[in-house]
Amino acid sequence: MSDLTQDLLDGQELAPTAPVRPEAPTFAALGARAETVEALASAGITRAFAIQEYAIPIALRGVDLIGQAPTGTGKTLGFGVPLLDRVFAPGEGSDGVPQALVVVPTRELGIQVAKDLAAAGRTRGVRVLPIYGGVAYEPQIDALRKGVEILVGTPGRLMDLQKQKHLRLDRVHALVLDEADRMLDLGFLDDVEKILAMLPEDRQTMLFSATMPDPIVTLSRRFLRQPMTIHAGHTAETGPSPQTQQLVYRTHSMNKVEVVARILQAEGRGLTMIFTRTKRAADRVAEDLDFRGFAVAAVHGDLGQGARERALRAFRAGKIDILVATDVAARGLDVTGVTHVINYDCPEDQDTYTHRIGRTGRAGATGVAVTFVDWDDMPRWRIIDKTLGLEMPEPPETYHTSPHLYTDLHISTEVSGTLPTAERTRAGLSAEIEEDLGGTTRSRRGDSGGRGPRRGESRGEGRGEGRGERRGRGDGRRDRSDAGTPAVAEAPAADAADAADDGARTPRRRRRRRAGEVVAGEATAVISADAGPAEPATASADGEASKPRRRRRRRGGGSGAGTPAEATAD
């Protein structure tokens, strides 16, 4: 078993594990092989969800399949159990060349799918390898050389490794396209078609998507052979999970953080996800909540993969209980125990709304979803409301002092906008170590390649620190006190010695001045004692002193104000 597969098995267990219908069939009754049933039973999973009940028997027959179901309904095992049935394990004749491929749109979804498949194939030792950008190539290449049975990858990194001749796809006889509509949204559909063209024609293809826009329908007609279509669970057309309580408030942008601070102190609140429209807003909200004493971190596309995984690990482990995210995290994050979702910014459309609040109310659990709608967002919200049939076209105007906010969400009227010190029991993001994943330079694709100079983590770290201290924690942001201060190169020691021997200018450390105060020194050059008194002349970047000018600049007959006098050569 590869090291990466073992890492997956050492991580989060199979999800979801919420209760299912007692009359639901067992995996053994659906035809899963005994080893897979044993692995699932060890994770506490014995009965199937609806999507699994319909998809597994069809997929086990080897026919092509289209499944319309959102995340959170258990579709990973809906295609995972048939995949495990179709591959040979290392002890069953596998030669290490990939036999099955799962293509996913985002790294987070890829990691989660790989974990679930690795756990379900544990008893047979099936090797599952996640392939995604943002990390170094070498560990993934080493794992491919050691051999894998199932690949789970994002389009960009899969194509990169295939072009570099590190990846063989000629033995893949089972393919899954997961979250196909999300791949369309991210612009990966062309890459997906190129990957499909690399695979053997004699294969089984399964496509799963929450929605079926026209390009996805066209794709399925081109690459699937007489597929069977199944619908299971709530979709973007039928609306979010009925287990989720949906609340919508018309709020002012200047009062949103105050309202959020109250919601985060609601009775029974567990893990919470807050969605913003922009990366800058995610950072700002995380910093504001951190300042108020909450254990929070931000996840968005500008963070390096190591920082993103660090925040997600801390969130899953409960070291932080609030995750502020852009829509990059709206899909593919299967975290159990998310009780509240807050749409800090109004979603763009009904699909975004459904997928955002789908982070709670998963796998039969209950949840609460709160959406903020600003006055400018009302036309957009009315379309979402009408499309999904929510019957909330005019959200009530709400502030942190509004009585209905406290009654709707079971919030004590005694709470304030700051978390009491006695309740700050979470370890915080600083308790989670960021792994060095060896990021590479970022490619043009959103999922391929890493970030160069990474922003280490969100501003929401180190609760209890002052704002000034938090800005300089080595998270990739420059301390504002240094903004606008140019760096001047230091003159080499050899140049300084040469200048002293010539009786000319001797480079030394010049003290920079700002508003009359001395600041730490930079390289400069001064006139030697033989040359007569003069003000310092700055050195150039390569250590050579600038020559004195022959004239003084004058303003109104005298030396210009704030302009140092320049020496004349006597």
37 and 117 fall within a common domain: yes
Mean pLDDT across 20-33? 83
Residue 56 has pLDDT above 50, yes or no: yes
Averaged pLDDT, 175-204? 90
- Let me know whether 150 and 290 are in one domain: no
Give the span between the Cα atoms of 365 and 310, in whole angstroms. 26
Q: Which of 202, 231, 260 is the last residue of a domain?
A: 231
Beta partners for residue 510, in sequence order: 522
Judge contact between 122 and 39, C-beta under 8 A.
yes
Is this prediction's pTM over 0.85?
no
Q: Could you tell me if 194 and 307 lie in one domain?
A: no
pLDDT tens, position by position, 340-378: 999 999 999 888 898 888 888 766 678 899 999 999 999
Residue 275 sits in the same domain as residue 217: no
End-of-domain residue from the set 231, 262, 290: 231
User: 232-241, 263-272, 444-453: which has the highest mean pLDDT?
Assistant: 263-272
- Asked if the structure places residue 517 within a domain, the reply is yes
Q: What is the DSSP string of 17-54?
A: -S---TTSPBHHHHT--HHHHHHHHHTT--B--HHHHH
Tell me what pLDDT residue 33 has: 93
At 68, the pLDDT band (50, 70, 90 cuts) reads confident
Average pLDDT of the residues in 386-401: 94
CA 229 – CA 276 distance, rounded (Å): 34
Choose the weakest-confidence range: 211-225, 430-444, 458-472, 509-523.
458-472
The reply to whether 222 and 265 lie within a common domain is no
> Is position 466 within any domain?
no
- The residue-averaged pLDDT of 193-204 equals 93
* DSSP run (H or E) holding 355: helix 350-357
3-state SS class at 370:
strand
Compute the half-sphere exposure of residue 206: CA atoms within 13 Å on the CB side of its CA: 31
pLDDT given for residue 29 in this prediction:
93
Instruction: Report the helix count and the strand count for the chain, using DSSP H and E.
Output: 19, 18
Q: Taking 60 as the threshold, does the pLDDT of residue 318 lie above it? A: yes
Radius of gyration (C-alpha) of the chain in whole angstroms: 30
Does residue 419 sit in the same domain as residue 289?
yes
Boundary residue ending a domain (201, 231, 261): 231
Kindly give, in sequence order, each residue whose CB lies less than 8 Å from that of residue 349, ignoring residues fewer than 6 positions away.
380, 383, 384
Distance of alpha carbon 423 from alpha carbon 148, whole angstroms? 46
DSSP 393-415: SSPPB--TT-HHHHHHTT--TT-
Q: Are 506 and 526 in contact (CB under 8 A)?
A: yes
* pLDDT score, position 71: 64
> Looking at the chain, how many residues does it have?
570
Q: What percent of the chain has pLDDT over 70?
A: 68
Res 242: pLDDT: 66
Q: What is the pLDDT of residue 426?
A: 93
Tell me, what's the pLDDT at 343? 96
Is the domain of 176 the same as that of 264?
Answer: no
- CATH code for the domain in which residue 428 is found: 3.40.50.300
* Exposed / middle / buried, residue 133 (Cβ in 10 Å: 0-12, 13-18, 19+): buried
- Sign of the Cα torsion 410, 414, 415, 421 reads negative
- CA neighbor of 26 nearest in space, from 11, 10, 41: 41
The verdict on residue 487 lying in a domain is no
Q: Which two tokens stand for residue 394?
A: 């005019």
Q: What is the pLDDT of residues 525-545, one digit of tens each?
A: 343 344 444 444 444 444 444
| Residues 36 and 144 placed together within one structural domain of the fold | yes
What is the DSSP code (8-state) at residue 301? T
On whether both 120 and 37 belong to a single domain, the answer is: yes
Which position has the higher pLDDT, 28 or 490?
28
How confident is the model at residue 117, as a pLDDT?
95
- What confidence category does residue 460 fall into, taking pLDDT thresholds of 50, 70 and 90? very low
320 and 372 housed in the same domain: yes
State which residues form the domain around 300: 244-433+448-461+473-477
The average confidence (pLDDT) of the chain is 78
Least confident of 1-15, 52-66, 302-316, 375-389: 1-15
188 against 100, higher pLDDT: 100
Report the number of distinct structural domains present in the chain: 3
Does 403 reside within a domain?
yes
pLDDT of residue 23: 72
Going from the C-alpha of 11 to that of each of 17, 118, 151, 443, the distances in angstroms are 15, 10, 18, 29
**Token pair in block for residue 74:** 């258990």
In the predicted structure, residue 323 carries a pLDDT above the cut 70: yes
Structure tokens at 188: 């990966």
**Whether the bond into 16 is cis, omega within 30 of 0:** yes
Residues 145 and 257 in one domain: no
3-state secondary structure string across 453-477: CCECCCCCCCCCCCHHHHCCCCCCC
Range 50-63 average pLDDT: 92
Which range has the worst mean pLDDT, 96-100, 223-227, 483-487?
Answer: 483-487
Asked whether residue 387 carries a pLDDT value surpassing 70, the answer given is yes
For tokens 């170590």, what's the residue?
433
Distances (CA, A) of 465 to 59, 295, 366, 426, 472: 54, 13, 35, 15, 11
Q: Encoding tokens for residue 412? A: 């004590």
Contact predicate 295/319, CB 8 Å: yes
Let me know whether 95 and 37 are in one domain: yes
CA-to-CA distance for 313 and 73, rounded, in angstroms?
Answer: 22
Euclidean distance between the first and the last CA atom of the chain, given in angstroms as a whole number:
81
Strand ranges (E), 74-221? 100-103, 128-131, 150-153, 174-177, 204-209
CA distance 175 to 199: 9
* Among 391, 409, 390, CA closest to 342: 409
In the three-class reduction of DSSP (H, G, I as helix; E, B as strand; rest coil), residue 272 is classed as: strand
> Phi and psi dihedrals of 303, rounded to 5?
-80, 145
| pLDDT in the model for residue 307 | 87
CA distance 296 to 285: 9
- Give pLDDT, residue 462: 39
